[in-house]
A and B are shown apart, each in its own frame.
Chain A
């Protein structure tokens, strides 16, 4: 069932690439593909976290400002110096983990609906980020990402892609080979039965939200390394992107079904569609509308809930 959806997702990617290649010679060339892969990797990172919480029937709306906050923490704590890079990375990821932990505790222990908890947390992070950086006008706010990080995107085969492959490997191993992964699917499919089978449902939930925070922070680090300097609103597009990639990748929004391979395909499809529309010189309004329509079409293809009977 869910493996079939992975195949659909991969098929979708290939189809978009083929159409693009026919209409635009060079669309599927390596140099163009490389750019698409790099852009898709950012979506892939946030979607990894989003997928984990969606697997247990949750959702993480705090991704935009966790990402943005982590990006700013990275540059302001490293001040662009190579020697401070490791500390800065740890700090940025730590911020993500901390926010994710807060989300998880709120959802699992206090019973706050995931939409409310993470939406509130997004506001908290936005306020903190804007306030503490004085609207990104603080003394160290002009810093760049340290040089080694910016090297992630150099060369014919950028290191960033290996990092994404690593994330893919981590997600796949975690979800299919470990006892934790088994518990995640069990909780996602039927939390009551999982509880009655001795699975620590709350613990699993908290761990997943924490991981989601970490992945959002990771995306923030990668994005600031890519662009050099952070900006405000850096994470805004990634809420929509992360959910769309997860759904296009065949993960059920009701939880319990899906593989990260599908999410990789979903991220690529989304980026390929955007790139294609840009190549066609479709204006922004058209891109937004077509983007929405594409997602609706995919939802109609395999995102429908069961009929009442």
Chain B
């Protein structure tokens, strides 16, 4: 093992062979949030380089800087020794051989698979015109080269499943045979067999001399694939190693020792059922039963895209159920809208706080008060005194924004504080049932810890909590009980705290080898 963490990688390697990618001293802020500070990164040609770090560590931002989607506020970026810091145009990077598969920015939804694959290099006929009829066969040939035979090249991208879209996105990137490949969370939506498929192609590219950079949430993938690992924490480079054990990695990523990252589960659920669901069909859900008791933290696990989101949205009235019954405190209820759900004492804290949670330019107070406006309403007017009191007390309770004015716009807060603002909005509703959907995503370690403790405290108050997280580790430690969803059904139920996340992963992928 080589210890290189004491020096920034860029300095350390500047003397050796030409680096494929080199970033040094990169700063980048979004609103009030410093996503990267003095960040450095270096990767060589002919290696698979994993970029590890917790959510919110700055991995995605670094990737966007590397591929020219956003500009660094400060610092330099070099591709094969050429300085490119001033150029903000992915097209220019592509010409230098840099290709990127993004986590969110993915395919063009209205275009066909073939058009997506061949957008920048379509087959041409006489006069140099694009052969529209040739698009399908050409795409078929490319997909075939990568052993993909279950995707119709003429299908519109919007109609594909999440996993299929991911596969097309990867083929698009791989097929360009780039000199630098950057893959942001390429496996999140893939089944085991597809992960193997991808790994094979990544190795092939490396052996051909390309530089392959990837991020992943699953440690065993990093272990299996990466020649080297770089760890990021709080927007900056922490270490680059040839080998790294999981325990060490967690320590480096969180800045804490492996044990004690999660508070102990001390409470015991009550006996009364708070929410009972029978035979729920909605979106990808095909008959889900569950019984959530008061004071219980019920985890929902499984691979990404097995219907977890549909379950949460349907229970919150934001999505229509095709079939099934919902019982609250023993009474059957019909939840047809978010308004109904809020009235019934249900709260939903979404994963993507920017898209689904926050009103970024509005004040902290406006954001927190948004779900309870009608409770402080006299003849249509906001009772501002009452609002200030209510918001003030919850802000103190969650220690949001270090006691500064609640008139500040939310986009000046850090990711952790932003997530707390969304939580505060829902705590103000006095909801008895909390649907927490990946609430620790993109949140720093300290806030994560605050949220874990808050969740425990809420359960101790007798509230019922349905908890989903993309970090299986969290579900394994925080929950009284875990339901594993697979293909829209409950595939397994594990008593908690499960402790070992691998058990949940194993239950998620069992019988899934034929996928």
A195 touches B338 (CB 8 A): yes
7 nearest A-B residue pairs (beta carbon): A309-B70, A189-B359, A197-B371, A179-B373, A198-B342, A197-B370, A198-B339
A182 touches B316 (CB 8 A): no
Please report which residues of chain B, range 337-389, place their CB below 8 angstroms from some CB of chain A when the two chains form the complex: 337-339, 341-342, 348, 350, 355-362, 366, 369-371, 373-374, 376-377, 380-382, 384
Docked pose: A183 CA to B337 CA in angstroms = 17
B225 close to A (CB within 8 Å): no
Residue on B with the closest CB to A182?
Answer: B373
B341 CB, nearest partner CB in chain A, Å: 8
Interface of A is mostly: helix
A193 touches B339 (CB 8 A): no
Please report which residues of chain A, range 157-182, place their CB below 8 angstroms from some CB of chain B when the two chains form the complex: 177-180, 182
Chain A residues lying within 8 Å of B382, measured Cβ to Cβ, are 177-179, 182
Docked pose: A195 CA to B370 CA in angstroms = 10
Chain B residues lying within 8 Å of A1, measured Cβ to Cβ, are 361, 409
A182 touches B366 (CB 8 A): yes
B318 close to A (CB within 8 Å): yes
B170 CB, nearest partner CB in chain A, Å: 24
Residue on B with the closest CB to A174?
Answer: B380
Given contacts A180-B380, A308-B70, A309-B71, contact A196 B318 (CB under 8 A): yes
Docked pose: A309 CA to B425 CA in angstroms = 29
B163 close to A (CB within 8 Å): no
- Name the one of A185, A194, A196 contacting B316, with C-beta atoms under 8 angstroms: A196
Interface residues of A (CB under 8 A from B): 1-2, 177-180, 182-183, 185-186, 189-190, 192-200, 256-257, 308-309
B138 close to A (CB within 8 Å): no
Chain B residues lying within 8 Å of A178, measured Cβ to Cβ, are 380-382
A259 CB, nearest partner CB in chain B, Å: 13
Given contacts A196-B338, A197-B338, contact A182 B88 (CB under 8 A): no
B371 touches A198 (CB 8 A): yes
Interface of B is mostly: mixed
- Name the one of A189, A198, A308, A309 contacting B360, with C-beta atoms under 8 angstroms: A189
- Name the one of A186, A257, A308 contacting B370, with C-beta atoms under 8 angstroms: A186
Chain A residues lying within 8 Å of B376, measured Cβ to Cβ, are 179
Q: 26 A–B contact pairs at CB < 8 A?
A: A1-B361, A1-B409, A177-B381, A179-B373, A179-B374, A179-B377, A179-B380, A179-B382, A182-B382, A185-B359, A186-B366, A189-B359, A190-B359, A192-B356, A193-B359, A194-B370, A196-B338, A196-B348, A196-B350, A196-B356, A198-B337, A198-B338, A198-B341, A257-B361, A308-B69, A309-B70
As a 0/1 sequence over residues 311 to 324 of chain B, the CB contacts with chain A under 8 angstroms (1 = contact) are: 00000101000000
Interface residues of B (CB under 8 A from A): 69-71, 88, 316, 318, 337-339, 341-342, 348, 350, 355-362, 366, 369-371, 373-374, 376-377, 380-382, 384, 409, 425
A182 touches B370 (CB 8 A): yes
Chain A residues lying within 8 Å of B384, measured Cβ to Cβ, are 177
- Name the one of A185, A193, A309 contacting B356, with C-beta atoms under 8 angstroms: A193
Docked pose: A194 CA to B371 CA in angstroms = 8
Chain A residues lying within 8 Å of B356, measured Cβ to Cβ, are 192-193, 196
Docked pose: A2 CA to B357 CA in angstroms = 21
Chain A residues lying within 8 Å of B342, measured Cβ to Cβ, are 198
Q: Which residue of A179, A192, A197, A309 has the most chain B CB atoms within 10 A of its CB atom? A: A197
Residue on B with the closest CB to A1?
Answer: B361
A189 touches B361 (CB 8 A): yes
Chain B residues lying within 8 Å of A197, measured Cβ to Cβ, are 338, 370-371, 425
Residue on A with the closest CB to B65?
Answer: A309
Chain A residues lying within 8 Å of B350, measured Cβ to Cβ, are 196
A256 touches B361 (CB 8 A): yes
